[in-house]
Amino acid sequence: MPVVRRFLIALVALATAGCPDSTSGSKAGPPATCTKRGEQCKLADGVLGVCNDVACPAGKDPPCLGCVSQH
């Protein structure tokens, strides 16, 4: 029995050592600002949107991209 117990302890130690800490992972999600047409983005209220052409502000040359609702 001691061999089986040591094996189980080693197995548990290896399994937990290989798991990343849940707080250290990056879960950034979609960007809030658009850089490419068609990519996912996040609207101000947290809802997912899609990057699309929008009217450019004064003084800015097209193309201008903005996050718009998917629905």
- Identify the pLDDT of residue 30: 78
Instruction: Name, in order, each residue with C-beta under 8 angstroms of 46's C-beta and a sequence gap of 6 or more.
Output: none
Residue 15 or residue 33, greater confidence: 33
Nearest to 42 by CA among 66, 26, 24, 64: 66
Which tokens is 11 given?
Answer: 């197995």
pLDDT band at 1 (very low <50, low <70, confident <90, very high): low
How big is the CA angle at 70 (ends 56 and 34), to the nearest 5 degrees?
A: 40
- Kindly list the domain boundaries of the chain, sorted by start residue: 2-69
Supply the mean pLDDT for the chain.
Answer: 79
Percent share of the chain, pLDDT over 90: 41
Cα–Cα distance list, 12 to 28, 55, 58 (Å): 30, 57, 61
- Identify the pLDDT of residue 49: 93
Give the pLDDT mean for 55-67: 93
